[in-house]
């Protein structure tokens, strides 16, 4: 059992802190956001993440998980400190390391000799070394910084933490690496030990590869639509080849979230600085930008003009099982609808409000009186919605499905017009 401090209680900090406590460690999570910490101290989980709230509460009850805004208190007693603060994008797309620098400098004021510092935030290659220098300039103590990027997905974060495909530990000191191996010793996940620069690159390269897979299948979906093939069949057939794999081959309205958009841009900046423009990744982003506008293009083709159209936007979170709307394709779609003077109204089972337009948690309410509906997120309450509901609530049922929730056969004999991604449109009963 180790005494651990986790700096930052965003998605990664909170999941990491909670899971490390479940592994038997004594964890104190620190944040500069006083409201957030007060609410966490009261046992309220600020994230909609399946299973997180009960696990967090049971660790609090067992006194293995604590929350504070007082950095000194947490850091002075810690044997290992995880930095899990945000690394948002700068205006030029590069990673903003100011939160990491600030956290590192502050903790070096109170840290003991020999404390292990673990960099969990997603950072460009060279940051491990920079963190060490920033801290040493202040503390003058002996310590090691180990890189330990996180690979969890929102919506399945606990599963991904406990049963991930690998734990990556980048270190330049075997003893420091071994201490982190021991922190994870109760887990059966394979561990890759490497140098810090390679660990930092593994994280960016993994996200860039997955984003590339999504843009690739989205490009293929534009082709299947043109030649009259079915993207769902094509993706299934491709995915059966184990060298390709079936995951991340779901065509849709593009990737969003707090990671792929910013991390692909950050890697492009890393490549630019290294003198090797990453042309492939630039194309991945271009394809994604176009894909986010695809449902709008389809609606414009169908109606000519969207002015005054009441649009039911189904799903606001960037993916199901989370309330995170960061870089959600639904939000770009709503903005574009408003530019075109349409009148969007949003439905989401957990996102209660957004600054852009009214939101309801009743799907029936948003469909009633809508001219057409657009599916942005495949929450079960949307993808399992009986087609009768569209027929019975909408004036003239027209559905633009950005996540291919329904098999096309489901529309045979139905009076619904159905447009999806990479498949032929169904015009409804003539």
Ligand X SMILES: O=c1ccn([C@@H]2O[C@H](COP(=O)(O)OP(=O)(O)O[C@H]3O[C@H](CO)[C@@H](O)[C@H](O)[C@H]3O)[C@@H](O)[C@H]2O)c(=O)[nH]1
Binding mask 133-162 for ligand X (x = CB under 6 A): -----------------xxxxx--------
Q: Is 39 exposed, middle or buried (0-12, 13-18, 19+ CB in 10 A)?
A: middle
Which of 102, 193, 338, 381 lies at the binding interface for ligand NAD (CB under 6 A)? 102
Length of the chain: 430
Kindly list the distances between the CA atom of residue 151 and the CA atoms of 116, 154, 229, 350, 395, in Å, as whole numbers in the listed order.
21, 10, 34, 24, 44
Binding mask 253-282 for ligand X (x = CB under 6 A): --xxx-xx--x-------------------
Which of 110, 204, 318, 347 lies at the binding interface for ligand X (CB under 6 A)? 318
Any known ligand binding at 140?
Answer: no
> CB–CB of 387/418 below 8 Å?
no
Is 32 near ligand NAD (CB under 6 A)?
yes
Which residues are tagged catalytic? 259
Any known ligand binding at 151?
Answer: yes
C-alpha triplet 161, 158, 82: angle, nearest 5° = 50
Q: What are phi and psi of 424, to 5 degrees?
A: -65, 145
Nearer to ligand NAD, 92 or 396 (CB): 92
Nearest to 146 by CA among 166, 127, 165, 124: 127
CA distance 14 to 222: 39
Q: Which DSSP helix (H) or strand (E) runs through 332?
A: helix 329-339
Nearest approach, Cβ of residue 258 and ligand X (Å): 7
Nearest to 397 by CA among 426, 376, 423, 377: 426
- Runs of H (alpha helix) within 166-195: 174-183
Is 290 near ligand X (CB under 6 A)?
no
Sign of dihedral through CA atoms 395, 397, 398, 400? positive
Nearer to ligand X, 254 or 397 (CB): 254
* DSSP 3-state of 26: strand
Is 12 near ligand NAD (CB under 6 A)?
yes
Nearest approach, Cβ of residue 361 and ligand NAD (Å): 23
- When CB distances are held under 5 to 8 angstroms depending on the partner's kind, the choice from ligand NAD, ligand X, none that residue 271 binds is none
Binding mask 213-252 for ligand NAD (x = CB under 6 A): ----------------------------------------
Is 33 near ligand NAD (CB under 6 A)?
yes
**Which residue ranges make up the site for ligand NAD (CB under 6 A)?**
7-13, 30-33, 36, 84-87, 99, 102-103, 106, 121-122, 150, 152, 154, 258-259
- Residues at the binding site for substrate are 151-154, 203, 248-252, 256, 319
**Which residue ranges make up the site for ligand X (CB under 6 A)?**
122, 150-154, 207, 210, 214, 248-250, 252, 255-257, 259-260, 263, 318-319
């Amino acid at each position: 059992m180790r005494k651990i401090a986790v700096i930052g209680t965003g998605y990664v900090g909170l999941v990491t802190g909670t899971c490390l406590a479940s592994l038997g460690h004594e964890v104190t999570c620190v944040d500069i956001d006083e409201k957030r910490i007060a609410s966490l101290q009261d046992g309220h989980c600020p994230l909609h993440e399946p299973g997180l709230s009960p696990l967090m509460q049971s660790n609090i009850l067992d006194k293995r998980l604590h929350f504070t805004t007082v950095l000194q208190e947490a850091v002075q007693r810690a044997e290992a400190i995880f930095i899990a603060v945000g690394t948002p994008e700068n205006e030029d797309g590069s990673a903003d390391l100011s939160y990491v620098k600030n956290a590192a400098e502050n903790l070096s004021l109170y840290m003991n000799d020999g404390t292990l510092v673990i960099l969990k935030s997603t950072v460009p290659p060279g940051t491990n070394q920079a963190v060490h220098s920033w801290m040493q300039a202040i503390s003058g103590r002996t310590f090691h910084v180990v890189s330990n990027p996180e690979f969890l997905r929102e919506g399945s974060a606990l599963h991904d933490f406990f049963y991930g495909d690998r734990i990556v530990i980048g270190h330049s000191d075997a003893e420091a690496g071994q201490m982190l191996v021991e922190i994870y010793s109760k887990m059966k996940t394979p561990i890759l030990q490497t140098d810090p620069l390679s660990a930092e690159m593994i994280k960016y390269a993994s996200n860039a590869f997955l984003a590339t897979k999504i843009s690739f299948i989205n490009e293929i979906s534009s082709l299947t639509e043109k030649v009259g093939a079915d993207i769902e069949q094509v993706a299934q057939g491709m995915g059966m080849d184990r060298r390709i794999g079936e995951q991340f081959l779901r065509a849709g309205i593009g990737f969003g979230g707090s990671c792929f958009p910013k991390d692909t841009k950050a890697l492009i900046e890393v490549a630019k600085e290294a003198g090797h423009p990453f042309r492939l990744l630039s194309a991945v982003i271009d394809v994604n930008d176009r894909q986010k506008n695809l449902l709008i293009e389809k609606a414009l083709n169908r109606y000519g003009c969207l002015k005054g159209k009441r649009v039911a936007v189904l799903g606001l979170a960037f993916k199901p099982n989370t309330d995170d709307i960061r870089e959600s394709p639904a939000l770009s779609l709503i903005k574009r609808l408003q530019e075109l003077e349409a009148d969007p109204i949003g439905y989401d089972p957990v996102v209660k409000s957004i600054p852009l337009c009214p939101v309801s948690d009743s799907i029936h309410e948003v469909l009633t009186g809508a001219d057409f509906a657009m599916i942005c997120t495949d929450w079960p309450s949307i993808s399992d919605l009986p087609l009768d509901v569209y027929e019975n609530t909408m004036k003239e049922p027209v559905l633009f499905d950005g996540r291919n929730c329904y098999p096309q056969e489901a529309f045979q004999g139905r009076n619904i017009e159905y447009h999806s991604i990479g498949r032929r449109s169904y015009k409804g009963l003539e």
